[in-house]
């Protein structure tokens, strides 16, 4: 990935938020055009003069100057942000107003407003999350379609319709509206989580994309630290992202190959992120409701504090998955619960727990379903069954690195007499 790509990931959302605040949400397409123009100018200029010492400041300056050009050229023909009124139509004030809106604090606040504006009640929750991923997180339609297991053309059409709805929605969201905030929060958290997952074990040729994980962590902190956004649920979510992000340095070995959690060099885990995650988890322990993020963060904490894989408290993790299945059941949660059961009670119990959920068609195409069964069948010396499942895992692997690791597990299955798994 080029430096321009990385800058786009980290800066496009900030720029869209600031420009939408300047132009008004009804001019969303204009804000996107200015962002694209700024990055096109960056690619042309940096190619000959090199990347500037502070690329973010360079990009923001270009976007700010372009916004001023648009305002001066079109202020008699186009309506801009209604709440800024005449300030954007008066030469004496327009430069100062735009400069203030490109201040770091203002941009952070506008990013939150923009995320919640994307969660318009007329849009399905999945479409709301897609909008956030594209507009605020810089993901392309290929990545979004992979994350939602949808056809790329269908995602493009949904996003196009959603932007038209957003442009007709009126002013940007008021972050101080606590009731509407709570209604829109689930889609915002879904989008940030999808962004993190795309970086942690996504579908591109790069199996770990730390820039996406870092951006998701920044957005999670931004939300959890906001006076309105700092609810127990968002604090638990921030804890979850911190605790998962802490494990990123251990996901690849010295040769850049993907390794399983069992094989992680835990001395490489980020201890500061573990401690931050624990602090957020402690701060989330208030109120009367336990969200899925409380439970998932608690599971991640148990993994994070185990010095070795063998020291993991699988009994506690199994109980947390039982609770998670009650409030947020899904095939993947059921699979993770079954794996915890197998680690706690032995491989035969794990096989039985996985086969109890085997009827779900989505799991049949999920590589880790087959990989989990392959590992458990290896543990009970059922080589033929292990090979069949590892072959299935290889077939459905989503990245070359994932496929290579699973192929190694398949190659390790040497023929041996079939043993009963019962």
- For the stretch 176-213, pLDDT in tens is 777 888 888 888 898 889 889 888 876 666 677 888 88
* Distance of alpha carbon 364 from alpha carbon 368, whole angstroms: 10
DSSP string, 170-186: -SPP-TT-HHHHHHHHH
In the structure, what pLDDT confidence band is assigned to residue 149 with cuts at 50, 70 and 90? Answer: low
Q: Mean pLDDT across the stretch 290-304?
A: 96
pLDDT at 372: 95
Give mean pLDDT, residues 125-141.
Answer: 86
Tell whether the model's pLDDT for residue 416 goes beyond 70.
no
In order of 63, 146, 283, the CA distances from 224 in angstroms are 28, 28, 10
Helices and strands, number each (H, E), in the chain = 20, 0
Give the whole-number percent of the chain exceeding pLDDT 90.
Answer: 36
Q: Is the pLDDT of residue 128 over 50?
A: yes
pLDDT higher than threshold 90 for residue 4: no
pLDDT at 176: 72
What pLDDT, on the 0 to 100 scale, is given for residue 397?
A: 87
Q: What is the pTM of this model?
A: 0.82
* pLDDT of 227 above 90: no
**Tokens of residue 402, six digits:** 């994932």
Average pLDDT of the chain is 86
Report the C-alpha gap between 161 and 318 in whole angstroms.
Answer: 42
Share of the chain above pLDDT 70, in %: 90
Instruction: Tell me if 413 sits within 8 A of 377, measured CB to CB.
Output: no
Bigger pLDDT: 357 vs 92: 357
Q: Write the burial class of residue 122 (CB in 10 Å: 0-12 exposed, 13-18 middle, 19+ buried).
A: exposed
Enclosing H/E stretch for 95 = helix 91-101
Using the predicted structure, report yes or no on whether residue 106 has a pLDDT greater than 60.
yes
Q: What is the pLDDT of residue 279?
A: 97
Residue 402 has pLDDT above 70, yes or no: yes
Average pLDDT score over residue span 9-35: 85
């Amino acid at each position: 990935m080029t430096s321009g790509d990385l800058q786009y990931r980290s800066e496009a959302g900030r720029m869209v938020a600031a420009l939408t605040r300047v132009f008004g949400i009804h001019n969303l397409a204009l804000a996107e055009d200015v962002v694209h123009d700024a990055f096109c100018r960056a690619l042309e200029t940096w190619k000959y003069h090199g990347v500037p010492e502070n690329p973010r400041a360079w990009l923001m300056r270009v976007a700010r100057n372009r916004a001023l050009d648009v305002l001066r050229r079109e202020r008699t023909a186009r309506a801009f942000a209604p709440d800024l009124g005449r300030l954007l139509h008066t030469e004496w004030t327009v430069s100062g107003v735009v400069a203030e809106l490109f201040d770091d604090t203002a941009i952070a606040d506008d990013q939150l407003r923009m995320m919640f504006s994307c969660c318009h009640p007329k849009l399905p929750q999945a479409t709301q999350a897609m909008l956030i991923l594209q507009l605020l997180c810089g993901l392309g339609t290929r990545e979004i379609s992979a994350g939602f297991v949808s056809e790329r053309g269908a995602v493009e059409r949904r996003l196009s319709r959603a932007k038209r709805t957003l442009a007709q929605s009126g002013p940007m969201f008021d972050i101080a509206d606590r009731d509407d905030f709570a209604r829109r929060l689930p889609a915002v958290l879904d989008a940030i989580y999808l962004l993190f997952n795309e970086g942690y074990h996504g579908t591109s040729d790069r199996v770990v994309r730390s820039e996406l994980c870092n951006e998701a962590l920044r957005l999670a902190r931004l939300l959890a630290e906001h006076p309105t956004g700092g609810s127990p649920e968002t604090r638990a979510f921030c804890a979850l992202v911190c605790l998962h992000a802490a494990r990123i340095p251990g996901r690849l070995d010295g040769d850049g190959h993907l390794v399983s959690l069992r094989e992680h060099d835990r001395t490489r885990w980020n201890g500061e992120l573990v401690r931050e995650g624990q602090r957020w988890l402690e701060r989330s322990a208030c109120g009367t409701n336990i969200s899925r993020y409380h439970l998932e963060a608690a599971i991640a904490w148990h993994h994070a504090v185990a010095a070795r894989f063998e020291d993991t408290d699988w009994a506690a993790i199994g109980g947390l998955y039982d609770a998670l299945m009650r409030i947020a059941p899904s095939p993947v949660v059921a699979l993770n619960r079954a794996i915890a059961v197998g680690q706690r009670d032995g491989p035969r119990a794990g096989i039985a727990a996985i086969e109890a959920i085997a009827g779900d068609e989505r799991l049949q195409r999920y590589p880790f379903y087959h990989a989990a069964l392959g590992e458990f069948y290896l543990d009970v010396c059922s080589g033929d069954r292990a090979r069949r499942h590892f072959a299935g895992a290889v077939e459905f692997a989503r990245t070359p690195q994932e496929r290579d690791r699973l192929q190694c597990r398949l190659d390790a299955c040497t023929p041996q007499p079939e043993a009963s798994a019962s």
